[in-house]
């Protein structure tokens, strides 16, 4: 995977290389000669970062334009939906009124029909009772009058019934029309609601993509700003010292394809009866994302690949997607396209294949690595649209030798059994950071690089008994707790000098590596600041101000001197001074460190 540490190396080496003085780093000459070409090539990484910055800026602009269009469409759809809902309400009210009118007409017709029948019956009853010679002397005249009377009643009632029938027919036609309009409006509301939901989802996805692009843009901008700032503030000799120390550690930012024997990197203290101090770092290098040795330890403890990934990538989902058929890799010979699953992933050299053997019990860790590598590649290349390098600046690709080598069948199994599986956040592959060893605690990206990633969180990477999964009880990383450098044991005088230099104001930073011990003390006295003499002990305080490196980062180095006096030095300040002024390749590489004392004072 991409190591942000590699960007830091650019800071250290983007200068015209000069030979380090023999008095300073004579034991590094061979290492520096071997890494000169690598250091020169690192300048290309800065240029790639700048190119990526431009690409992300363009991508961010496109996302912003798309988001603006989507929000306008949503606003229009929302207005249409509001208007349609109002129209539906109006038509529903009209339909209800029409149905009530039809009911009234039907009741009136029924009443009129009853009245008609009653009128006819009454008329004939009266006619039968009143027709007699005593009343009507002229029968023909009476019959004519009776007929006219009957006809008038019948005509009037018929007209009323016809009128009511026409009203009923008209009202029924209006009702049918309103029912049709109501159904059409309901369909339109359903379509608009579906479109509204789709727009909300698309807006959310686009917003997430924009946020991701902005975060990546900010992260790269900060990296470049940090490069420029450090280049301008550090002297050439300081750059050389940091570059040399970085070169000494450069070979192993992730576990790599083969394991390192811890015995080869540990040195015992001198046994001459005097006191020595050694500063031991927990983890390496950045402690963000998946802890590779921690994943190994978790797999040995019986955790599944899903449990491992859920631990290190918060709030994500593990899903199977369709991956691109090929990916473009960049090597010294140029760009070339290779099969994504069958070649590229099978050739990733970021974790020892033998971890997957039954006797090692780490197959689930290999699967987690395969998924993380697949996810990182998709995020880095924008689903295969961009090329990816084959070094630790991206993630290491060693080709067919990975599966052809010892235990290669286990890596092949891990890749094939997780085919297409990626880690997603809001539907998109994450930049799945991983590193060799977290030293019992992972950090979030913002603490290390300043760029926010919601899925990179602090993890207390221990079991229920407090044993670190990358520590001796489980994964047993050689980098879990070690002193870095070729002279890890420092004398009382050397440590006293480092403490005093850390007590200087930051305005002296450009002189940290050139002032003598006596000059440092003189400057402290001139500034009326405390200087340490007769050092008796050092104590490490954690983030809760408790003794020991018990939390993710060391907060304070407490110094005991001169018959009971104490003074505190910020751990970050001490680390900065130590890496510039300590002898040889000695370095403190992470923010969690402690001190080991050899012999009694």
Residue 28 Rama label (left phi>0; alpha psi -120 to 50; beta): alpha
Residue 11 lies in a domain: no
Q: Are residues 73 and 188 in the same domain?
A: yes
**What is the full DSSP assignment across 29-90?**
HHHHHHHHHHHHHHHHHHHHHHHHHHHHHHHHHHHHHHHHHHHHHHHHHHHHHHHHHHHHHH
Asked if residue 416 and residue 321 are part of one domain, the reply reads yes
Share of the chain above pLDDT 70, in %: 73
Do 446 and 496 belong to one domain? Answer: no
**Same domain assignment for residues 47 and 65:** yes
Which pLDDT value is given to residue 265?
53
Q: What is the pLDDT of residue 220?
A: 59
Please check whether residue 460 lies inside any domain of the structure.
Answer: yes
The residues facing 491 across adjacent strands are 276
Please check whether residue 374 lies inside any domain of the structure.
Answer: yes
Instruction: Give the pairing of strands 388-389 and 326-331.
Output: parallel
Q: Say if residue 128's pLDDT is above 60.
A: no
Please give the helix or strand (H or E) that residue 600 lies within, else none.
none
Residue 143 above 80 pLDDT? Answer: no
The answer on 458 and 558 residing in a single domain is no
Lowest mean pLDDT among 58-67, 91-100, 151-160: 151-160
pLDDT at residue 261 in the model: 54
> Is 316 contained in some domain?
yes
Determine, yes or no, domain membership for 17. no
Q: What is the pLDDT of residue 42?
A: 42
**For residue 270, is pLDDT > 80?**
yes
Average pLDDT, integer, range 24-35: 40
Which of 461, 478, 495 is the last residue before a domain boundary? 478
Helix (H), strand (E) counts: the chain: 14, 17
Q: Which two tokens stand for residue 5?
A: 């540490």
- Domain boundary among the residues 478, 506, 534 is at 478
Q: Report the pLDDT value the prediction gives residue 7, as an integer from 0 to 100.
A: 31
3-state secondary structure of 478: coil
Statement: residue 354 has pLDDT above 90: yes
Same domain membership, residue 269 and residue 204: no
Phi, psi of 222 (to 5 degrees): -65, -35
Q: Is 439 left (phi over 0), alpha (psi -120 to 50) or beta?
A: left
Cα angle at 150 between 146 and 156, to 5 degrees? 145
Sequence-distant (6+) residues with CB within 8 A of 564 are none
Residue 257 lies in a domain: no
Do 579 and 562 lie in one domain? The reply is yes
pLDDT score of 23 more than 80:
no
Number of structural domains found in the chain: 3
Give the count of beta carbons closer than 10 Å to the beta carbon of residue 313.
29
List, for residues 527-570, the tens digit of each pLDDT value. Answer: 999 999 999 999 999 999 999 999 999 999 999 999 999 999 99
Cα–Cα distance, 333 to 322 (Å, whole number): 30
In 3D space, the residue among 170, 157, 273 whose CA is nearest the CA of residue 598 turns out to be: 273
CATH of the domain at 108: 1.10.287.950
Token reading at 66: 């798309």
DSSP string of 177-216? HHHHHHHHHHHHHHHHHHHHHHHHHHHHHHHHHHHHHHHH
Q: Are residues 496 and 412 in the same domain?
A: no
Residue 196: band (very low, low, confident or very high) from pLDDT cuts 50, 70, 90: confident
Is the pLDDT assigned to residue 121 strictly greater than 90?
no
Residue 7 lies in a domain: no
- Alpha-carbon distances, residue 562 vs 27, 344, 421, 498, 535 (angstroms): 35, 61, 61, 16, 7
Query: Is residue 15 very low, low, confident or very high in pLDDT (cuts 50, 70, 90)?
Result: very low
Residues 199 and 324 in one domain: no
Q: Residue 447 and residue 443: Cα distance in Å, rounded? A: 7
User: What's the pLDDT at 102?
Assistant: 74
User: Does one domain contain both 223 and 303?
Assistant: no
Give the distance from CA 354 to its chain's centroid. Answer: 30
Instruction: Tell which wins on pLDDT, 70 or 249.
Output: 70
Domain boundary among 478, 513, 546: 478
Beta bridge partners of 57: none
The 8-class DSSP code of residue 474 comes to: T
In a domain, 2, yes or no: no
Q: Is the pLDDT of residue 346 over 80?
A: yes
Q: Same domain for 394 and 297?
A: yes
Point out the least confidently predicted range of 174-183, 463-472, 488-497.
Answer: 174-183
Co-location of 440 and 299 in the same domain: yes
Mean pLDDT within 290-312: 98
Determine the structural domain holding residue 581 and report its residue range.
265-281+483-597
């Amino acid at each position: 995977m991409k190591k942000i540490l590699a960007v830091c190396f650019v800071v250290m080496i983007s200068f015209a290389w000069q030979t380090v003085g023999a008095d300073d780093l004579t034991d590094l000459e061979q290492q520096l000669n071997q890494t000169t070409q690598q250091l020169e090539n690192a300048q290309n990484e800065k240029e790639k970062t700048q190119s990526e910055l431009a690409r992300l800026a363009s991508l961010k602009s496109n996302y912003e334009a798309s988001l603006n269009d989507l929000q306008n469409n949503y606003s229009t759809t929302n207005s249409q939906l509001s208007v349609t809902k109002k129209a539906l309400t109006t038509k529903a009210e009209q339909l209800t009124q029409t149905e009530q009118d039809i009911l009234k007409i039907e009741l009136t017709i029924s009443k009129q029909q009853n009245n008609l029948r009653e009128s006819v019956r009454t008329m004939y009853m009266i006619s039968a009772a009143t027709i007699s010679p005593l009343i009507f002397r002229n029968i023909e005249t009476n019959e004519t009058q009776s007929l006219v009377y009957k006809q008038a009643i019948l005509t009037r009632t018929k007209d009323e019934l016809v009128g009511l029938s026409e009203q009923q027919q008209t009202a029924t036609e209006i009702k049918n029309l309103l029912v049709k309009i109501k159904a059409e409006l309901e369909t339109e509301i359903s379509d608009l609601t579906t479109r509204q939901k789709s727009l909300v989802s698309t807006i959310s996805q686009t917003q997430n993509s924009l946020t991701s692009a902005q975060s990546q843009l900010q992260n790269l901008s900060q990296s470049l700003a940090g490069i420029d700032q450090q280049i301008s503030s550090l002297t050439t000799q300081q750059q050389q010292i940091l570059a040399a120390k970085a070169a000494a550690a450069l070979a192993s930012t992730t576990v790599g394809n083969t394991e390192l024997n811890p015995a080869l990197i540990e040195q015992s203290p001198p046994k001459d009866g005097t006191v020595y101090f050694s500063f031991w770092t927990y983890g390496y290098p950045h402690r963000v994302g998946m802890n590779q040795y921690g994943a190994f330890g978790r797999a040995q403890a019986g955790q599944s690949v899903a449990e491992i990934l859920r631990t290190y990538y918060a709030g994500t989902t593990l899903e199977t997607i369709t991956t691109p058929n090929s990916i473009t890799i960049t090597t010294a010979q140029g760009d070339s396209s290779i099969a994504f699953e069958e070649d590229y992933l099978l050739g990733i050299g970021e974790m020892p294949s033998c971890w997957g053997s039954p006797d090692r019990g780490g197959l689930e860790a290999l699967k987690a690595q395969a998924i993380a590598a697949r996810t990182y590649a998709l995020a880095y290349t924008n689903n295969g649209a961009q090329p990816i390098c084959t070094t630790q600046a991206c993630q290491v690709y060693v080709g067919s030798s990975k599966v052809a080598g010892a235990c290669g069948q286990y890596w092949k199994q891990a890749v094939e059994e997780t085919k297409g599986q990626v880690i997603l956040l809001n539907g998109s592959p994450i930049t799945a950071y991983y590193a060799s060893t977290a030293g019992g605690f992972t950090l979030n990206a913002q603490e290390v690089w300043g760029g926010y990633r919601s899925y990179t969180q602090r993890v207390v990477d221990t079991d229920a008994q407090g044993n670190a999964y990358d520590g001796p009880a489980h994964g047993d990383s050689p980098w879990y707790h070690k002193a870095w450098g070729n002279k890890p044991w420092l004398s009382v005088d050397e440590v006293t000098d480092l403490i005093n230099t850390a007590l200087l104001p930051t305005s002296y930073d450009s002189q940290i590596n050139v002032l003598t011990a006596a000059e440092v003390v003189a400057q402290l006295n001139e500034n009326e600041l405390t200087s340490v003499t007769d050092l008796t002990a050092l104590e490490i305080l954690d983030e809760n101000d408790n003794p020991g490196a018990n939390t993710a980062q060391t907060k304070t180095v407490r110094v005991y001197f001169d018959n009971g006096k104490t003074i505190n030095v910020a751990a970050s300040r001490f680390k900065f001074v130590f890496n510039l002024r300590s002898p040889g390749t000695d370095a403190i590489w992470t923010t969690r460190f402690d001190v080991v004392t050899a012999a009694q004072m």
